[in-house]
Structure 1
Amino acid sequence: MASSGDTTTCRLPLTSAMSRKLRVHSSAIHYFDMVRRCRSIREAARRLNVASSAVNRQILKLEDELGAPLFERLPGGLQLTSAGEVFARHVTVVLQDVERVSSELDAMAGIRTGHVEIATVEGLTSDLLPCVLDALYARYPRVTVGVMTLGSQAVPEAITSGAVDIGLAFGLQRHPDLQQMRVGHFHVGAIMAPDHPLASRTEVSFATCAEHRLILAKPDLSIHHLLSTLIRKTALPHKPALETSSLELARQLARRGAGIAFQTRIGIEADLAAKTLIHLPLSDNGGLQSDLGVYVRNNRHLPVAVDAFVRALSEEITHREGLLKQK
């Protein structure tokens, strides 16, 4: 996966034992999945708390039954073969369905436990995602959550590979293996310090911004692709002051007056309220918008906890979209 790949695990409070771990399929499937994730038989065995020989034996048994090698041994670790890629897609579906069954059995018993993995773009970790997590603490006190921050372009792979349950990203293209559960439309604007020469305007064109120092996004961020046409059409008088994959770095530099950055109002709510940043909608093409979506793997039956998070995230996006339309 491309991008910085920073991972933060947000553990919600635990009050008793975690949800049941169903083992309704062959150990070979679980062993294969762990080897795929670790790219190492030894590391997979360590995490599974079994002998390396036992893991290797199960992989060899699978390869014998399938009639094809599943892994290729490379200097950097094990890599899936073409047959391994096909089998991995099947294993991902099987194991995620087991999670759903376990979650539904827990829900029937009133336990409400489980684990949810989320891949999100960095801008949502400052306000939107914390609001949703905080609201769900009381309702699902025994659920644990993993949060992985990625660029938008890396989110689809995280979902389809089974690394995460839910993806939050701006500007994703249609993908056959993704289901869009909700999408909100947000104006893209220039963000700058309150004392910037352009700050008194109500909107601004990209060409006008280009007359000043710019802070632009690298290709792994959706805003790069959204602005690429405008950048090509504009003869930049000088090289951007900074190109970065970090929206947080761009935000901090814009606050300090080091240049003009570009994004939606999502992620800079606190700065706007404190008047430490100004957000001017871009006037190009009648106004530029970025779509923020909630995504899951297509045709997946969602476990109870995952479904609850999808609904909460969708409702929060709808709420914020409505608030911004009123401004």
Structure 2
Amino acid sequence: MHGIALRYFVEVAQAGSLSGASERLHVAVSAISRQIAKLEELAGAPLFERAARGMVLSDAGRLLLTHARRTMLESESVLQEIAALKGAARDEIRVASVAGVARTFLPAAMARFRQDWPDMRFDLHVDTPREVLRRVAEGQAELGMAFNMERAGGLSVRYSRRAPVHAVMAADHPLAGRASVSLQDLQAYPMALTGSGTTTRRLFELGCALESVQIEPALSCNDPSPLHGFVYGSDAIMLGGYISVTHSLDRDQLVAVPISNAELQSRTLQIQVMQGRVLPPRTEAFIALLCGELDGLLAAQR
């Protein structure tokens, strides 16, 4: 299977049509169609189902897409290693992450990594858990960090550790001295919550439904950063993982109290990579640093 044919195939799969791939590649539709036909002849099976809404991958096409993405990414890594031999390498690690991890933990880890790899560059994309894992599965990021409730297909988990949701509040809050709090305890105070696409919000709503607790947030925001300002110096409470708030607890005079609800205790933090992909040494070294720092940080949580 030739590289150019795989490249055209990947573009058609992503665009959903020959014309869409043609616009992205600046290549004639007829040329792309010929390459797809050759791949289908070689595979001995149709790679797409042609429909009015466009071209949808067949079962064979989905298998080939996984192979094609992995092959193209590994070729890119080899070319970068060859460039390094000539002193012309542009070292970069592409990372996708949810906002809670990207707020302070990841940038701090990147800065520490550059102490040993001073020429390393990072590209960080912050999004919802679903989008983070999609970018990793499609090769747009080498690794993804997200809080997950279920395992996604096509990905390999390199790190997984329980990361419960905490109630975060001002240090002088009436509940601040508790060893833990319940969802019923939270009912008496204004709640600041992340958006509906986050794992924390989904778990919170599930926990409330199972315990027949009704809590309407006083503030809901798609970005967790403004929630800190809402909680600071007030009786409001926000939800967050220990890793998301640990760097601001002392600075903002906040405390993180565990929540006794089983659903909010079930969350895990994962580092995931594309299944079967061979990562460059620099990325493996960065993953090793992340795993070590996460172990230390999560072991310190209450």
TM exceeds 0.5? yes
Matched, 1:99 2:76: yes
1:156 aligns with 2:133: yes
3-state SS of paired residue (2:242): coil
Confirm whether residue 126 of structure 1 aligns to residue 109 of structure 2: no
Distance 1:141 1:197, change over 3 A: same
Structure 2 gaps, min length 5: none
Q: How far apart in 2 are the matches of 1:306 and 1:42?
A: 36
2:146 equivalent among 163, 169, 172? 169
Q: Provide TM-score, normalisation by structure 2.
A: 0.79
Aligned with residue 276 of structure 2, among 271, 275, 299 = 299
Count residues in correspondence: 300
Cα-to-partner distance string for 1:64-95 (whole Å, 9 max, x where unaligned) = 554525364655x6543444323212212221
**Cα deviation 1:222-271 (Å, max 9, x = unaligned):** 22344455312433355333455433344443337483221112222343
User: Higher relative contact order by CA 8 Å / sep ≥ 6: 1 or 2?
Assistant: 1
RMSD: 3.5
SS in 2 for 1:279: strand
Counterpart selection for 1:232 from 200, 205, 209: 209
Distance 1:26 1:203, change over 3 A: closer
Pair 1:145 & 2:122 matched: yes
Larger mean Cα displacement after TM superposition, 95-104 or 299-308: 95-104
Q: Which whole-Å CA distance do the structure 2 matches of 1:284 and 1:169 have between them? A: 21
Partner deviation per Cα, 1:32-64 (whole Å, 9 max, x = no partner)? 223333445556445545455544443344345
Contact 2:100–2:241 (CA under 8 A) maintained in structure 1? no
Structure 2 residue corresponding to 1:223, chosen from 187, 191, 200:
200
Give 1:177 shift. 3.3
CA distance in 2, matches of 1:187, 1:210: 19
Q: Report SS of the residue matched to 1:274.
A: coil
Asked if 1:204 is matched to 2:181, the reply is yes
Q: Say whether the 8 Å CA contact 2:136–2:143 is kept in structure 1.
A: yes
Please tell me whether residue 29 in structure 1 is matched to residue 11 in structure 2: no
SS at match of 1:266: helix
Question: 2-side partners of 1:132 and 1:52: how far apart?
Answer: 45
Q: Please say if residues 8 and 32 of structure 2, whose CA atoms lie closer than 8 Å, have aligned partners that are also in contact.
A: yes
Q: What secondary structure does 1:236 align onto? A: coil
Q: Partner of 1:310: helix, strand, or coil?
A: helix
Question: Structure 1: how far apart are the matches of 2:118 and 2:51?
Answer: 43
CA 1:99–1:311: 2 relative to 1, 3 Å: farther
Q: Which runs of 5+ in 1 are unaligned?
A: 1-23
**Structure 1 stretch 102-111 or stretch 212-221: which is displaced more?**
102-111
Say if 1:153 and 1:222, in contact at 8 Å, map to a contact too.
no
Q: Which residue of 2 aligns with 1:19?
A: none
Q: Which amino acid aligns with 1:159?
A: V
Q: Distance in 2 between matches of 1:139 and 1:42?
A: 46
Alpha-carbon distance between aligned partners in 1 of 2:47 and 2:154, rounded to the nearest angstrom: 25
Offset at residue 181 of structure 1 (A): 1.7
Give the corresponding residue for 2:46. Answer: 68
Distance (Å, rounded) in 2 between the aligned partners of 1:315 and 1:60: 48
**SS of match in other structure, 1:273:** coil
